[in-house]
Amino acid sequence: MTTTLSQVAEQAGVSVSVASRSLNGHAKAYRISDETATRVKEAADMLGFRPSQTARSLRLKKTGLVGVVVPDLSNPFFASISQSIALSAEAEGYSVIVADSREQTEHEIRLLQQLEDRQVEALVVCPVGTESKHLQQINERGTPVVLADRTFPDCELLQVTSEHRVGAVTATRLLTTKGHRVIGVLQGLPGTLPNEQRLSGHAEALAEIGISFDQSLVMGNNFTETSGFESAMQLLADRPDVTALFAFSTPNAMGALRAAIKSERHVPQDLSVVAFDDSPYADLMNVPLTTVCQDVDGIGQLAADLVLRALTNSKGRKRKKRHDIKTQVIIRNSISSVKD
Amino acid sequence: MTTTLSQVAEQAGVSVSVASRSLNGHAKAYRISDETATRVKEAADMLGFRPSQTARSLRLKKTGLVGVVVPDLSNPFFASISQSIALSAEAEGYSVIVADSREQTEHEIRLLQQLEDRQVEALVVCPVGTESKHLQQINERGTPVVLADRTFPDCELLQVTSEHRVGAVTATRLLTTKGHRVIGVLQGLPGTLPNEQRLSGHAEALAEIGISFDQSLVMGNNFTETSGFESAMQLLADRPDVTALFAFSTPNAMGALRAAIKSERHVPQDLSVVAFDDSPYADLMNVPLTTVCQDVDGIGQLAADLVLRALTNSKGRKRKKRHDIKTQVIIRNSISSVKD
DNA sequence: ATGAAAGCGCTAACAT
DNA sequence: ATGTTAGCGCTTTCAT
């Protein structure tokens, strides 16, 4: 059914080695006569020969495969990152295997195992959970690993993420300068670095004006809309003195807007909202959202860049491990001054 | 560095065949003593043996790979489809290679070639362009191809898409029953089946009330926001008598909303808008959008199902080729009665 | 300038 | 119950 190299060789009346060399452009390096080379190429064309990548991979110990593991491919943030990797990889002749860990460490581990078995040459992972040991092990075993978004402190892997702390300081200042003093926080997944750094940035901005951080104003367990909605509902019920909300993700913020509607608070008159991360349609919302937005493409492209560089370059090169990508403030209309 | 089967065999003091059979659960089929089997497994564990999928693939002529080709992975619609395939495939032990064709046929062809060379066992493609020949050829050469979203008439491939025509009839009726007679259409990519079927459904709904379809009311060249915005601007300028817009995608609709703002028309008072396809936040828009929404997960899951079935089942089985997934109307607040 | 043959790591048909 | 060996399709060393 499928044509093999030896059939091409036979058709062209040469040996497999000559056929291989002719087709791989090693013709002159092996001083194969032009005439022979052409004959081989014609035979290959005629038979519709396509070299088996599987056989090649085995022989060359090079699969041309890059693995990508994300917690939720339907989340536009991770979809964009996957796309960046895919486009860069394709341009260099690599293919990318994507795997969706469904936010669960056990799946992540299983998928990584699978990818390692397939001998991907490098991995980009947006990890779940708070442990990086398994990732470091893979890296030590020889498959370069690049972390994106969810990174780890004290970790020797290449990492790309946003300036979460700085961004959160900015966001909170946006509120405090308008006089807000009781700010509810709709957090994402506790324990993840982005979440903790944003919390710490928030606390820092509060400290600047002499307010101490109040843990009871922090609610939520996930970057999802459900978490945002439920946290906002509870916060608005428990703490009627809250005048502003800081949502840690776009879905969190959407949940907050729904909660505001449901509890009959007008944004921004009765309640101010600021979100970490932007949605493409944030300006078309019933309340145009003020956001501190991440450079998603920047993160994806840098991750892609690092991973491909890891493939090409001398393995042992020393280079910067952590990369923190700047965020950008977009002022819209979801914040008002507190009235006293 | 990496352990091979023969090292395991040596360590366990058996031959490679026994090692292979023990580890693949063929122990009893080959009446290998339990004791031996255990010894092999222990050796494998001890050495951290992981069978090379590459070698396996070559030997078994089975790569365990499924290819997915989409026009734009950052589009939530295609991201969801890719996710469905990935999740289903992973559950069956397959891995998926995703490729992004950037809406260009030439890229699509190149990527498909690449995937075929990698000997993926099946393909799900959301094709670009109006030609299906290359896809049919792949299918005939032995790699089952399932088409999703962008399908083709008179095509023998398995296909999954929405009921575009029916959905469009519904959408247009939503407008005509409110008295709208001059309806602008913001179309997507002309020539694609979803686009043409929606046009035809639109014309059909107009015909029902004795209006003939006016081609000059149709604008746009893409499913993007830019296309939606520009088409709406032009339409509103050229045809001041337009009272309603029918947008063929969520991004098209967002463009329309921006155009409405820019040209100082209030939706729905001065202009009604209906969109084909829903956004998760459509209800939080400044104008909550009335939509005819596609069952994205339904499409993805069925496509995944068909493709995995094609791998498992007897190849020659006769089954339904085309699957049209129902759409659902979601009434919100972007349509008003025409005032006369 | 070309060919023979080894071998990548694995499975399975064929011994014994 | 276990071992030997061919071979999947390719690249490359080592002849010639």
Model pLDDT for residues A193-218, shown as the tens digit of each residue: 899 999 999 999 999 999 999 999 99
Instruction: Round the CA-based radius of gyration of chain B to a whole number and report it.
Output: 26
Least Cα distance to A310 among A118, A122, A91, A65 occurs for A122
Report the chain A residue with the minimal C-alpha distance to residue B74.
Answer: A80
Least Cα distance to A89 among A311, A299, A319 occurs for A311
Q: What share of chain A is helix, strand, coil (3-state, %, to 5)?
A: 45, 15, 40
Least Cα distance to B82 among B126, B127, B136 occurs for B126
Q: Is B58–A54 a contact, with Cβ atoms under 8 angstroms apart?
A: yes
Contacts of A49 (CB under 8 A, 6+ apart): A3, A4, A5, A7, A8, A23, A43
Q: At what angle do helices A76-91 and B76-91 cross, to 10 degrees?
A: 80
Q: How far is the CA of A30 from the C1' of D13 (A)?
A: 13
Q: How far is B242 from chain A (nearest CA, A)?
A: 22
A residues 281-340 lying closer than 8 A (beta carbon) to B? 281, 284-286, 288
Q: Which of B99, B280, B284 sits opposite A86 (nearest CB)?
A: B99
DSSP SS3 for B145: strand
Average pLDDT of chain A to the nearest whole number:
90
> Mutate which of B66, B77, B90 to disrupt the A interface (most A C-beta within 10 Å)?
B90
State the pLDDT at residue B8: 85
Q: How far is A182 from chain B (nearest CA, A)?
A: 26
Window 52-111 of chain B: CB closer than 7 A to strand C: 52, 55-56, 58-60
CA B103/CA B223 separation, integer angstroms: 11
Residue A314, phi then psi, degrees to nearest 5: -60, 130
CA A55/CA A2 separation, integer angstroms: 13
CA B92/CA B43 separation, integer angstroms: 28
- Element containing residue A35 per DSSP (H, E): helix A34-47
Shortest-distance nucleotide from B6 CA to C1'? C9
Model pLDDT for residues A271-296, shown as the tens digit of each residue: 999 999 877 788 888 888 899 999 99
State the pLDDT at residue A98: 98
Sheet holding A290-293, edge to edge: A218-219, A183-186, A244-247, A272-276, A290-293, A328-330
Model pLDDT for residues B267-315, shown as the tens digit of each residue: 889 999 999 987 778 888 888 889 999 999 999 999 999 999 988 765 5
Domains defined for chain B, CATH in brackets: 5-51 (1.10.260.40), 63-158+296-323 (3.40.50.2300), 164-294 (3.40.50.2300)
DSSP SS3 for A142: coil
Model pLDDT for residues B10-23, shown as the tens digit of each residue: 888 888 888 888 88
Residues of chain B with pLDDT below 70 are 1, 27, 313-319, 339-340
Q: How far is the CA of B97 from the C1' of C4 (A)?
A: 38
Contacts of A51 in chain B (CB under 8 A): 117
Q: Is residue A87 less than 8 Å (CB to CB) from chain B?
A: yes
**Any atom of strand D under 7 A from CB of A187?**
no
In chain A, the percentage of residues whose pLDDT exceeds 90 is 66
